[in-house]
Amino acid sequence: MNNLTHENSIIAHVRPSDMTVQSNRDHCEGVARLAADFANDFGWGDVGYAMGLLHDKGKEQRGFQRYIRKMSGYEDVRGHVEKTPHAFVGALLAPEKYEYRDFIGMPIAGHHTGLYNYMDYEKLKEKNIPEDIDTNNPGIKSVKTGPLPSHRYWHHLVRLLFSSLVDADYLDTERFMQPEQSAWRQRGDSLEMLQKSLDIYLDELNNKTPDTPVNRIRKRVQQQCRDTMALPSGFYSLTVPTGGGKTLSSMVWAIGHALANGKKRIIIAIPYTSIITQTAEVLRGIFGANNVVEHHSAVNFKDEESYNSDYPLKLATENWDSPIVITTNVQLFESMYASRPSKCRKLHNLCNSVLILDEVQALPIGHLQPIIDALKAYHEYFGMSVLFTTASMPALKGKYCGIAGRANLDGIDNITEIVPDSFQLHDHLRRADIRFDTESSTYDSIAERLLEHPRVLCIVNTRQDAHEIFSRLPHDGETIHLSKMMCPAHIRQQLSRLKEALKSPGNGIVRVVSTQLIEAGIDIDFPVVYRQEAGLDSILQAAGRCNREGTLPIGTTYVFSLTKEHPLPSGHLSRTSAACKRVRITPEKDCFAPDLMRKYFIQLYGRTTSFDEGPEQEKDLIKRLLSRPTALSFATAAQQFRLISDNSINVIVNWDNSPELISELRKKGVSKTLLSQLVQYSVAIRKSDFDRLIKGALAKEIIEGVWYISDEEQYLSNVGLKVNNHWLEEILIK
């Protein structure tokens, strides 16, 4: 090789299509400019620039240059070559005089593999700088830092620097290696243009909407959002009962607030994919598909190998560079505590944004403290405003101690409610009475009560309860079962069938038995709702499906117990039930009153043994892993912080066109598009149920980690997956 010590001859990338070379200096300078631009959003642009210049210094090693020349086909290199680690070199070159040099070093060291635990990073720093590395660090004269957060938030700062570097590295590499793909990236319209689109839509909607009491309330809520949207960056809540138009009103406030405070985008986080899909459809109709990125496991883009109208949206899911992003709580908060490059890449685009947390009452109680800590960090140091939207606002403001001091919640100091108490929305938008049974029921008695109503919705806590009640109903008219024993594609089909049935005039039979998946955000309307005992927030969500459109003077929601069949499961359900009993709900009390909801949540917090990860023995685990600057355990914390437990196992079922997709998987192998399509036909089951299917030779592994149940008799069109072996059942019947 010739002139390897000359900087211009050091190769960073070789483009296979034409064997064009990108020099390492050009790549590092390109990454430095992008990383500085991203990190400038939170005042650390100098550090971003330094990271970019240093991140690939390790590619100057002769071993790496031999490797890239031979493996790319750029040069015929004789002899054996090995891939040479290079990320650690830039970390070692972080300027000695820089007080917080690890803020440069840690992101560089992990920009391929992920952020290290601190002790592993310290061991990495014990390595020697290879002799063939130029250590002059040209271009780094001085490094100024931005505002330094308190020690407990340092891990968020490191992740944001890491995000800035990783996204810059991906984008500069893509720009050189895949220029066609890079050209498809687009940022969408400005927030000013989106505000105009929203105003036009609302004007047209108001002109054709009848002047009813409900619509007058919706307009009043929207106007209140306009009147308060210029308030300074902070924490806000929009507490509006079901049917009050939260979705549109929250967008009015969020866009106006963003423009008044120099924010760059709107992030909407929602707990359920069913609500995301519904919300995304509404917002795409207002703002155009090119401005709304939908990012969650159930979203399915067109063929990933071809450029099409979906392609810019698919690319934007990688880093959330879009004016409006709709995602899940899981995607958002697990990214905030992640360590891998692909997960963290988007984080810098949360800075200077407006975050709408929809259905905030559904935030998982066991993870509430680290979630609140993250929100406070992003607001105080990284320019985020947060809007909580809900019909049942939890008690997130202030500090709370549990029974015998065993639980503590360090909440948010100040949350400004947009709609004042004087609006009395819970009175004006009341659609249903809530009646609590005084005695426990059986499956048979609940089924009999449901048969008294031609149109009725019954919501229960478990899949088993849903199956038991549904199996006792005659399947006349539209009698529908909904649970997570059905795959997502099947659930969507059932919801579409349900909505069509409800549109039909008259009193045709429409009876639904469902788990909580139908409880929030689904636009359905029943005159009567039954809800198994649960938390007050869940009861109010169920009541929101009762007389939703106000076509009756008043609807009725019945709350029943199934303790004659079985006790409530221990854990969250038992705690929510105990909290309900503690606030002593009586017929005289108004279940919809915000003050009662606050008292309920305080009781619930007092019964929660840990506001962090897992069981009591792991209390404050996330805090221990991340609060001390010299012991930041990024990799371990990312493994521990899971909003959804990994105890279940996903299996692909034989329904609709899943057999064709499985056949394609066998022929062509894995692709992201194919896996995202197969997710639509997956069901998450307990390990004990999975073991039962394996024992019966019903589940087979197609490729590593992808299990398929090919027997179509194991998946029924009315209830979904059967975990019992239907062959054994038939033998026993005979």
Residues 662, 571: one domain? no
Whether 453 and 533 map to the same domain: the answer is yes
**Beta-carbon neighbour count of residue 79 at 10 Å?**
6
The pLDDT assigned to 60 comes to 94
User: Is 314's pLDDT higher than 60?
Assistant: yes
Quick check: 722 pLDDT over 80?
A: yes
Tell me what the mean pLDDT of segment 319-331 comes to.
Answer: 94
The arithmetic mean of pLDDT across residues 102-115, rounded, is 95
Residue 399 tokens read as 């500090």
Q: Are 176 and 13 in contact (CB under 8 A)?
A: yes
Residues 50 and 150 in one domain: yes
d(CA 188, CA 520): 30
pLDDT at res. 619: 44
Confidence of residue 138 (pLDDT cuts 50, 70, 90): low
pLDDT (0 to 100) of residue 620: 62
The β-bridge relationship of strands 385-390 and 235-239 is parallel
- Is the model more confident about 670 or about 310? 670
| DSSP strand pairing (682-685 vs 649-653) | antiparallel
Give the pLDDT mean for 161-190: 94
136-140, 198-202, 275-279, 391-395: which has the minimum mean pLDDT?
Answer: 136-140
Average pLDDT of the residues of the chain: 87
Bridge partners, 324 (sequence order): 266, 292
The sheet with strand 706-709 has its strands ordered as: 682-685, 649-653, 706-709, 700-703
> What local confidence, expressed as pLDDT, does residue 308 receive?
57
pLDDT digit string (tens) for 523-577? 788 999 999 999 898 998 899 889 887 778 899 999 999 999 998 887 888 888 8
How far is 110 from 341, CA to CA, in rounded Å?
Answer: 8
Are 436 and 568 found together in one domain?
yes
CATH of the domain at 287: 3.40.50.300
Among the three residues 133, 155, 178, which one is the final residue of a domain in this structure? Answer: 178
Bigger pLDDT: 516 vs 165: 165
Are 566 and 666 found together in one domain?
A: no
Residue whose structure tokens are 């894995």 = 670
Q: Is 628 part of any domain? A: no
Question: Counting Cβ atoms within 10 Å, is residue 616 exposed (0-12), middle (13-18) or buried (19+)?
Answer: exposed
The whole domain housing 702 covers 649-733
Residue 684: which of 716, 644, 714 has the closest Cα?
644
Mean pLDDT for 26-54 is 95
E-only strand ranges, 201-264: 235-239
Mean pLDDT of 269-291: 89
Residues 373 and 394 occupy one common structural domain: yes
Q: Is residue 598 part of a domain?
A: no
What pLDDT score was predicted for residue 301? 54
Q: Is 639 exposed, middle or buried (0-12, 13-18, 19+ CB in 10 A)?
A: middle
Contact assessment for residue 316 and residue 289, using Cβ atoms and an 8 Å cutoff: no
Segment (H or E) for 178: none
Q: Are residues 392 and 257 in the same domain?
A: yes
Ranges 38-42, 74-78, 388-392, 459-463: which has the least confidence: 74-78
**pTM for the structure as a whole:** 0.87
Residue 549: predicted pLDDT: 77
Name the nearest CA neighbour of 120 among 138, 133, 134, 105. Answer: 105
Residues 244, 349 within the same domain: yes
With a CB cutoff of 8 Å and minimum separation 6, the contacts of 510 are 454, 455, 456, 477, 478, 480, 498, 501, 502, 526
Report pLDDT for 615. Answer: 42
| pLDDT one-digit tens code per residue, 246-257 | 999 999 999 999
> 10 Å Cβ neighbour count for 473?
19
The mean per-residue pLDDT over the stretch 283-296 comes to: 92
Which of 131, 149, 178 terminates a domain? The answer is 178
Chain CA centroid to CA 121, Å: 29
Q: In terms of DSSP bridges, do strands 706-709 and 649-653 run parallel, antiparallel, or are they unpaired?
A: parallel
Residue 108: closest CA among 60, 47, 149: 47
Alpha helices in 358-482 (DSSP H): 368-382, 425-428, 443-450, 463-471
How far is it, in rounded angstroms, from Cα 652 to Cα 693?
12
pLDDT at 2: 39
What does the block give as tokens for 660?
């064709």
What's the token pair of residue 226?
A: 């306009």
Rounded Cα distance, 353 and 382, in Å: 9
- Residue 728 CB coordination number (10 Å): 10
Same domain, 347 and 218: yes
Phi, psi angle pair for 476, to nearest 5°:
-95, 160
Residue 505 in tokens? 């005039």
What is the rounded distance in angstroms from the CA atom of residue 696 to the CA atom of residue 149?
56
The pLDDT of residue 354: 98
User: What total of structural domains would you count in the chain?
Assistant: 4
Quote the pLDDT of residue 76.
85
Distance CA 684, CA 652 (A): 9
pLDDT-based confidence at 3, cuts 50/70/90? very low
pLDDT higher than threshold 90 for residue 221: yes
Q: Are residues 195 and 174 in the same domain?
A: no
Last residue of a domain, one of 376, 393, 423: 423
Cα separation, 36 vs 434, whole angstroms = 56
Beta-sheet pairing, 265-270 with 353-358: parallel
Can you tell me the mean pLDDT for 699-726?
88
pLDDT of the residue at 553: 86
Grade residue 407 by pLDDT with cuts at 50, 70 and 90: low
